[in-house]
Amino acid sequence: MSGKLFLYILVGILVIWSLDSIQINKIFKKNRVYQARVFYFLLASAITQLVTTFLYDLYIAAKFF
């Protein structure tokens, strides 16, 4: 389980780093800072979970061959 936790941390850092290149403030209306932050957090969490699950399942499937 510690391997999966390490993968979550590593992928989370990479996702936040890559999302930082997007100017997400242009999508939202003015003075909607908290909504933009919540959206950013949920988007980063969702992408992190999807990528980590994919990589972990790929690793598990590769061990069987």
Give 18-29 pLDDT, tens digit per residue: 998 988 778 888
**What's the pLDDT at 30?**
86
Buried b (16+ CB within 10 A) or exposed e, 27-52: eeeeeeeeeeeeebeeebeebbeebb
In the predicted model, residues of the chain with pLDDT beneath 50 are: none
User: Which sequence spans correspond to the domains of the chain?
Assistant: 2-63
Predicted local distance difference test score (pLDDT) of residue 1: 64
Q: What's the whole-model pTM score?
A: 0.84
